């Protein structure tokens, strides 16, 4: 009996010690939503291969191949991002940056890297991109907007979108015919760096944010920070947003919206990275 009691003590003591040690150690890990999902050092190695020729060694958009590119490569240091699923003025979530890396930015020199990078590579690059700007460590990122499923594209919704297009005076920039030749001049359309950023010619059917209805929904709700393209979250009822989307797509004179893009991979969707900030009220 005495021997079995000693044996039991020997089994229990290490477990008790481990529990005590775990309870007394300080929790030095940051909240889950602040943990970078990627390896910055590994991302830097990938960045030297795929990114610095345009975005530069210092992430300032002044790489050796940046001259003459229009629009200019994004400055990671300035960290003003157009393509986001967060409200205007907010930084993008990781999945936004991942989406841009995977899908590229149509109509620009930013290619799609989906054929060259796997999920780990992409999120390592995301961590590297974020490391250039102190904003990502100093600001809390707003929650991503919810994008509802697209309803059927009908003549009634397109007609409603036409009325909204006129009511919101979208023609001031994009032109009543969607040509991008509105009422303003080039001097009225400059980005945050002072470069020309003219309105999109809607007839081409190629959009930086993507040409799927949900892509345009996201762009209309969040706006394109750094440009004259405002966010319409408060100006359009949620039930009407897809009507405006379908009217915008109706200008397309090409073979159809989304012709440049197949369905993207699923691993960068918001289920991959925690989006909601638990400390926000």
Tell me what pLDDT residue 173 has.
94
Higher-scoring residue by pLDDT: 200, 276: 200
Q: Is the pLDDT of residue 272 over 70?
A: no
DSSP secondary structure letter of residue 91? P
CB within 8 A of 236, min separation 6: which ones?
A: 164, 168, 220, 244
Put residue 223 in one of left, alpha, beta given phi > 0 → left and psi -120 to 50 → alpha: left
Average pLDDT, the chain: 82
Q: Is the pLDDT of residue 281 over 60?
A: no
Q: Is the pLDDT of residue 13 over 80?
A: no
Tell me what pLDDT residue 14 has.
38
The CATH code belonging to domain 32-138 is: 1.10.760.10
Tell me what pLDDT residue 188 has.
82
Tell me what pLDDT residue 268 has.
41
Q: For the chain, what percent of residues have pLDDT higher than 70?
A: 76
Q: Is the pLDDT of residue 260 over 90?
A: no
pLDDT band at 253 (very low <50, low <70, confident <90, very high): confident
Tell me what pLDDT residue 196 has.
87
The CATH code belonging to domain 155-250 is: 1.10.760.10
Put residue 205 in one of left, alpha, beta given phi > 0 → left and psi -120 to 50 → alpha: left
Give CA–CA dist 150/249, Å, rounded: 13
Least confident of 12-21, 121-130, 233-242: 12-21
Domain ranges within the chain, ordered by starting residue: 32-138, 155-250
Tell me what pLDDT residue 254 has.
67
Tell me what pLDDT residue 276 has.
35
Q: Is the pLDDT of residue 70 over 70?
A: yes
Q: Is the pLDDT of residue 5 over 50?
A: no
Burial class, 38, CB count within 10 angstroms (exposed 0-12 / middle 13-18 / buried 19+): buried
Tell me what pLDDT residue 255 has.
55
Q: Is the pLDDT of residue 258 over 80?
A: no
Tell me what pLDDT residue 102 has.
95
252-255 long-range Cβ contacts below 8 angstroms, 24+ apart: 252/202, 252/203, 252/204, 252/205, 253/203, 253/204, 253/205, 254/204, 254/205
Domains 32-138 and 155-250 share a fold: yes
Residue-wise pLDDT for 147-195, tens only, equals: 999 999 999 999 999 999 999 999 999 999 999 998 877 678 999 988 8
């Amino acid at each position: 009996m005495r021997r079995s009691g000693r044996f039991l003590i020997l089994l229990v003591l290490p477990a008790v010690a481990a529990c005590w040690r775990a309870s007394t150690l300080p929790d030095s890990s940051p909240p889950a939503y602040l943990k970078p999902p990627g390896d910055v050092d590994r991302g830097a190695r990938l960045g030297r291969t795929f990114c610095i020729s345009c975005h530069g060694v210092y992430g300032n958009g002044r790489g050796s191949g940046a001259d003459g590119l229009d629009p200019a490569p994004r400055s990671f240091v300035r960290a003003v991002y157009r393509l986001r699923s967060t409200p205007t003025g907010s930084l993008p979530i990781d999945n936004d940056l991942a989406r841009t890396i995977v899908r590229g930015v149509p109509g620009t020199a930013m290619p799609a890297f989906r054929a060259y990078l796997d999920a780990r590579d992409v999120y390592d690059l995301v961590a590297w991109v974020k490391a250039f700007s102190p904003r990502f460590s100093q600001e809390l990122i707003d929650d991503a907007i919810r994008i509802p499923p697209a309803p059927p594209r009908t003549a009634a919704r397109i007609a409603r979108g036409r009325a909204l297009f006129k009511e919101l005076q979208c023609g001031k920039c994009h032109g009543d015919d969607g040509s991008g030749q509105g009422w303003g001049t080039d001097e009225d359309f400059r980005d945050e760096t002072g470069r020309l950023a003219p309105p999109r010619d809607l007839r081409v059917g190629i959009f930086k944010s993507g040409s799927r209805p949900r892509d345009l929904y996201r762009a209309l709700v969040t706006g394109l920070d750094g440009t004259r393209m405002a966010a319409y979250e408060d100006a359009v009822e949620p039930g009407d947003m897809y009507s405006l989307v379908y009217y915008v797509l109706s200008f397309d004179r090409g073979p159809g919206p989304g012709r440049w893009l197949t369905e993207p991979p699923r691993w960068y969707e918001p289920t991959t990275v925690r989006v909601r900030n638990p400390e926000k009220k």
